[in-house]
Amino acid sequence: MEERDYHSLQKGTKLNGRYIIEDVLGEGGFGITYAGRDELLGVKVAVKEYYPQGIVVRNNSVDDVVTVTYAKQKDVFNKGKTKFLEEARVIAKFNDQEGIVNVTDFFEANNTAYIVMEYLDGITLKEYIAENGVLSPEDILELMAPVLESLDEVHKQGLIHRDISPDNIMLLKNGKVKLMDFGAARDYTDFGEKSLSIVLKPGYAPEEQYRSRGIQGPWTDIYALSATIYKCITGITPEESMQRVIEDSLEKPSKYCKDIPKGMENAIMKGMAALQKNRYQNLKEFCEALYSDFEDAGEEKKNPVSKSDGIAKSVNEEKEKAKSGKNALGTGMEKLQNLTKKQKMIAGAAVILIVLLIFAGTSLSGGKKENSSTSNLPTEREMVSDVVKNSQWEGTILNLSIIDDDINRQYEVYTADCEIESKRQGGSGTTSKAKITYKLQDDEWVFVKCEKQN
């Protein structure tokens, strides 16, 4: 006998007088997503329900009302519900953007909240890679063009997504690509004056998202975009950014993807720079570098209008195939896989022209945030103690002197180049150079590592 699920809405449940629940699509820590049908318009929809696991319960055999488990958790639940509805308002601003999932309705019912979105018939980029393997550089650039275009509009409104990754990008059967899940999106226009909450997706979240005082902006999404492209063409999830701040061992994409153009590789690596100041500060700069290898596509570049029209016609033909069932792959990727090298170059040139035209007026930049907690820097004596306690230094340290030091206030890192005199038991004294690194935590400088230089 099949075990019954009592906490999700039952099939056939009607919401807001028009949305009929048909199935559960997925469930996460904060919500349940259903497949449904809009009776008024006669179309399939996706319905997202606010249902934070662990603090609410429901017995659907009695009614559909969500109950907060403990009274002291009610404030947490209500604040979360407010943020949930704010997600709907954020996405609804961009319903005219091809690369973003559309929100069609949102409302409160059953003591919780719901967001109604267009139903996306396809699979995530993460699922596609897992089933079919990595994408070529040309394929991923063509796929990402509408996402980049739409994200530029999001940034122009002073918002950042903060949760871009392969599992938040959907490949549809009609060949379109959609960016989903704006639950972590926040206003960044006052980034110099306020903190943003911590939202993390290891491998795709830059270091500033690990810190409540980290400065977030377009460069935050650029890191996640670069990491997503890296994953798609190499199959490797990048190392966590906080580890890279301490010791960056990220391999270049060309180690795994031999045919990646040099300009594209450089753009990905700069977009994924561990420190924010070393990344592109806006999407215009990033896209110009990312698509630079495909700008010179021969004579096709001379007549962009006719080429763009030709690609649009090809896409429309592919949509018709999908409607008639002729698209055997069913994920919109068949067109990309069947393109010849020349066709891909032409498509790449058209993408660049579209992207650059749209981004031509974009100019977003970020400021630096100073940290004033520098009065309690470790002394040379404290450094000696830290090196002895935390590293395998050979012999007894007789003396440590600082040659040069640097405080990166924006990233709360202190490094000191030192000369260390030491003596082994029964041996003569030696002098070595070392770099000692500290990280600011709760207004205290905490030892990270000591690297011997010779």
Domain ranges of the chain: 14-118, 122-359, 380-452
Residue 393: predicted pLDDT: 73
Q: HSE of 452 in the Cβ direction (CA atoms, 13 Å)?
A: 12
**pTM, entire model:** 0.60
Residue 191: predicted pLDDT: 41
Q: What is the pLDDT of residues 35-84, one digit of tens each?
A: 999 999 999 999 999 998 889 999 988 899 999 998 888 998 998 899 88
Are the C-beta atoms of residues 334 and 259 closer than 8 Å to each other? no
261 pLDDT tier (thresholds 50, 70, 90): very high
Pick the CATH number of 122-359 from 1.10.240.10, 1.10.510.10, 3.40.50.720, 3.90.1150.10: 1.10.510.10
Q: Is the dihedral of CA 244, 249, 251, 252 positive or negative?
A: positive
Q: Across all residues in the chain, what is the average pLDDT?
A: 78
Q: What is the pLDDT of residues 107-118, one digit of tens each?
A: 999 999 999 999
d(CA 186, CA 63) in angstroms, rounded, equals 35
Are the C-beta atoms of residues 219 and 243 closer than 8 Å to each other? no
Residue 242: predicted pLDDT: 87
Nearest to 242 by CA among 219, 266, 270, 208: 208
Distances in whole angstroms, Cα of residue 22 to Cα of each of 12, 38, 120, 130, 411: 6, 11, 15, 27, 49
d(CA 113, CA 83) in angstroms, rounded, equals 10
The answer on pLDDT for 20 being more than 50 is: yes
Instruction: Please state which of the ranges 81-90, 278-287, 311-320, 326-335 shows the lowest mean pLDDT.
Output: 326-335
Nearest to 243 by CA among 33, 9, 448, 14: 448
For the ranges 3-12, 194-203, 357-366, the one whose mean pLDDT is highest: 3-12
Fold of 14-118: Phosphorylase Kinase; domain 1 (3.30.200)
Are the C-beta atoms of residues 154 and 96 closer than 8 Å to each other? no
Six-digit token pair at 103? 């929100």
**Residue bearing tokens 């007549």:** 303
Instruction: Please state which of the ranges 77-86, 154-163, 337-346 shows the lowest mean pLDDT.
Output: 337-346
375 pLDDT tier (thresholds 50, 70, 90): low
Distances in whole angstroms, Cα of residue 269 to Cα of each of 21, 162, 236, 246, 366: 44, 19, 14, 17, 20
Burial of 161 (0-12, 13-18, 19+ CB in 10 A): buried
Structure-model confidence comparison of residues 65 and 390, the more confident one: 65
Six-digit token pair at 275? 């420190």
Fold of 380-452: Nuclear Transport Factor 2; Chain: A, (3.10.450)
